[in-house]
Structure 1
């Protein structure tokens, strides 16, 4: 007979137990979160309000920025608030909801990044057919498919976890609810579930990463036939996306493409892809993109009372 689930809440260990360090982390991570929200909102507003940024690449970038805000908002506010309390708790339902949302936005972001690579592949390798292939209808369906893929991935992860019995202990060695730390607390053998988790999360990350690497090898190889100016512009755009891909996929593969175990480094790695990467994305895409920077300058210079042009 399976043990009953009598856990109503979980206790999070947080990032650190040092009181002084927690105060420093509160200020630091609050600043990080503000940068994430404001930076990504700036990207979204700039793309919506700039007629010159109406191509598919910026359409996908606006969705990526929206996902980054949502993704970090699932974990960062709770983490920041927990720096101020001694006992860091989360209800069972809240924990499962957090698990679901983390994988929903994380999975969707992976698919959006893959779609963005496909967009760059078509733009560089088939420029004459670009507007035909990447029309507004197709781009919209790609975004919808990314959300559906993220939802399906998240549902699998959540259902695999929620059906497990939890009878104690209830202390999660993490700062948010994720699959591997929860599997350690289950009152049953989780070997098969662990394999299924790796097959779901790890293989999605790895497969998408391989597809991205192959696509960019093809893109870079095709740039040899372009002019020097064309190569420079294409390489600048691709370099930004490649940087974001590495920052996202590296930690994800480290965390999820392995057996259901936890390492001491896991907390720092997850901080990187749940907080640091969403904060760096706006900087990467603006600092290396003249079109976005010019659009931002123009946006600041116009009368802010003027409404945005219709899309």
Structure 2
């Protein structure tokens, strides 16, 4: 559950590559322009407590300019992401549905930052894909440089905020084409993010958030972060021992049961025309229509 104080929902709106920073007003519909206060929503802002307080003060004053929202795209809520670190098999029920043993240590892989798109952008089914799958996840955004986080430190002190993440996957590429999982995780548009980012102080317990995902209106995933094998704090500590986490890096923390891979045959993998909606409690709801990559790029 989110805290009872006013929630600061940071956004980026506008055409891809030209988004401007914004704030979702308390009414849940009005966008407020932050471009007069900060250049963007990125690691630099999230690492600067004074800048975040200026944003909060302006929001509470209620005099930020309104951005007309009609027909304006919502982009990912974070710019210049350094890396996306993903955690596989991090829910007991998801491991069970895929026939995997719960891991003794977190399963870590990387997703390229250029897979990140906006929460309502089109997602492309890769050429030759027959097993494109969905995964709702809690996204953790880093706000302080984390390296070798010690056992007596609070790993959550390194977290700037949280967001809704969709870790789209191609299972044949991931599991049957040799090598690591990267082939099935890094296809173009495979990480819708947002619609907004909520600062960490407003999510007192990241282990009590509901996650849901619908395909063509049918509820497919319905879980809670409380069922994670490795909670958020442990993930930050663990990952920091293998790579340095910088402000603006993202950790996708795994998905609960209900993915297509775990369903009986014929498994309901995604096809062009399918619509997926993704939601994490308090962090907003996404909606993507899937389209064949060959229709966009030819071939």
Q: Same fold (TM over 0.5)?
A: no
- Structure number with greater Rg is 1
Superposition TM-score, scaled by structure 2 size: 0.25
Superposition TM-score, scaled by structure 1 size: 0.24
Structure with the bigger percentage of strand: 2
